[in-house]
Amino acid sequence: MVQEQVIVGIDVGTTKICVLVGELDRDGKLNIVGVGTCPSQGLRRGVVVNIEETVTSIAAALDRAERLSGKKITSAYVGIAGRHIESENSKGFVAISPSHRDIVQNDISRAIEVARAIPVPANREVIHVIPRGYVIDGQEGIKNPIGMSGFRLEVETHIITGAVSSIHNLIKCLHKAQVEIEDLVLEPLASAEAVLADGETDLGVVLVDIGGGTTDMAVFTDGAVWQSVVLPIGGNFITSDIAIGLRLSSGIAEELKITYGHCDPSTITDDDMVDLAQFMPNCNDLVPRKLLAEIIQARVEELFFMVHEEIKKSGYDGLLPAGIVLTGGTAELPGILELAGRALDLPARLGSPLGLHGLADSISRPAYSTAVGLLLWGLRHTSLLLDEVEEERGEGSAGLISRLSRWLRAFLP
């Protein structure tokens, strides 16, 4: 009998920690059986700045997820972001063995190893080496070269690196919370798993995940990631602008943003006022909702200007027919899609995780895209490993160990 498989995703965000427990049933459906969220402490712009506070937040979210799911969490796929993230594309090529001209997994692994051999400073570490596509004897556009014949195999990869200190501090927090890391996953790649369709990544699309402390973006073309960037701006900056502009505490400014915020002042009448007494009982002040929208609009326009600059750097400005997909908690602001479309001259849509079962109703919002994507990433890469192991059956333990080591070198940091 096939056992149900449990996969856990942990989104360690600037504003919240989210733990999701997914269970793959016998019918192949991913059921959400546990959800645990807790406000973040100890993180700034996606990076750990206080280990003990971060560990406490992670432990609280884990406890809630364990209580709801009834399962003990010992390992998880964990999201990583922060301004320290950098990426570049690299190519590697190898000659196919003269004893056989059919390409096997070992040839792919060798080509990826060559592509991976880029200069990496001592203070940086490789997080991902993602194959974008393959070329066999000059023939481009090949997604899976196994079994094809040729003399020379070339692979184009997208390599993502991060600061060693930031990576190791995050790992240390998870270990202190008694969680082993199955894989560290760049957060925009995880979000893409949850909200992008194959057709969009083939045509060309930019994913923009607007979190609290950072905005994670990734440009996809030809079915794979081409550029990934973490911008040092997010929803917390909007909250700060509101607090400064209206002389309010951050807590009240956040409530105002969530309850009455809008990105287009032109849709709000001059006499539309917000009574602050509902947030501060002893306050009789009124805030023009149009003024609130003007503050929000200014910061969001700045964000999309930065996104546009990164799209230009990618070389795909004007070449992304599938447009922009916004996700993350701040993407739920009213009017933000229209503003994105105007600022970037692209079709825009809201990205929410779909196709889930179990407790899916509680997490079918953009704010949970990264956490859901971590589950899907884990599911997909676990399936890849199982396929590799299946191919090695009959070749003995030496063949199995060889296959596992090649898979680890290809997909894990």
Give this prediction's pTM.
Answer: 0.88
What is the structure's pLDDT at 257? Answer: 96
Q: Which residue has the higher pLDDT, 165 or 283?
A: 165
pLDDT tens-digit readout, 76-107: 999 999 999 999 999 999 999 777 778 999 99
What is the structure's pLDDT at 384? Answer: 53
What is the structure's pLDDT at 411? Answer: 38
| Mean of the per-residue pLDDT values of the chain | 89
**Is residue 405 in a domain?**
no
What is the structure's pLDDT at 363? Answer: 87
The stretch 152-163 carries a mean pLDDT of 97
pLDDT tens-digit readout, 295-305: 999 999 999 99
Nearest to 372 by CA among 398, 388, 352, 402: 352
Q: Has residue 398 got a pLDDT over 90? A: no
Q: Has residue 394 got a pLDDT over 50? A: no
Q: Which residue has the higher pLDDT, 412 or 25?
A: 25
pLDDT tens-digit readout, 327-353: 999 999 999 999 999 999 999 999 999
**Is residue 336 in a domain?**
yes
**Is residue 9 in a domain?**
no
Q: Has residue 378 got a pLDDT over 70? A: yes
**Is residue 254 in a domain?**
yes
Q: Has residue 17 got a pLDDT over 80? A: yes
* pLDDT-wise least confident of 25-34, 148-157, 181-190, 364-373: 25-34
Tally of domains within the chain: 1
The stretch 30-38 carries a mean pLDDT of 92
pLDDT tens-digit readout, 221-249: 999 999 999 999 999 999 999 999 999 99
pLDDT tens-digit readout, 262-282: 999 999 999 999 999 998 888
**Is residue 12 in a domain?**
no
Segments forming the whole domain that contains residue 307: 197-352
Q: Has residue 3 got a pLDDT over 70? A: no
d(CA 310, CA 307): 5
What is the structure's pLDDT at 97? Answer: 79
pLDDT tens-digit readout, 110-152: 999 999 999 999 999 999 999 999 999 999 989 999 999 999 9
Q: What is the 3-state secondary structure (H, E, C) of the chain?
A: CCCCEEEEEEEECCCEEEEEEEEECCCCCEEEEEEEEEECCCEECCEECCHHHHHHHHHHHHHHHHHHHCCCCCEEEEEECCCCCEEEEEEEEEECCCCCCECCHHHHHHHHHHHHCCCCCCCEEEEEEEEEEEEECCEEEECCCCCCECCEEEEEEEEEEEEHHHHHHHHHHHHHCCCEEEEEEEHHHHHHHHHCCHHHHHHCEEEEEECCCCEEEEEEECCEEEEEEEECCCHHHHHHHHHHHHCCCHHHHHHHHHHHCCCCHHHCCCCCEEEHHHCCCCCCCEEEHHHHHHHHHHHHHHHHHHHHHHHHHHCCCCCCCCCEEEECHHHHCCCHHHHHHHHHCCCEEECCCCCCEECHHHHCCHHHHHHHHHHHHHHHHHHHHHHHHHHHCCCHHHHHHHHHHHHHHHHCC
What is the structure's pLDDT at 370? Answer: 96
Instruction: Assign 24 a pLDDT band (cuts: 50, 70, 90).
Output: confident
Nearest to 262 by CA among 233, 236, 295: 295
**Is residue 338 in a domain?**
yes
What is the structure's pLDDT at 321? Answer: 96
Instruction: Assign 306 a pLDDT band (cuts: 50, 70, 90).
Output: very high
pLDDT above 90 covers a percentage of the chain that reads: 80
Which CATH number characterizes residue 304's domain? Answer: 3.30.420.40
**Is residue 149 in a domain?**
no
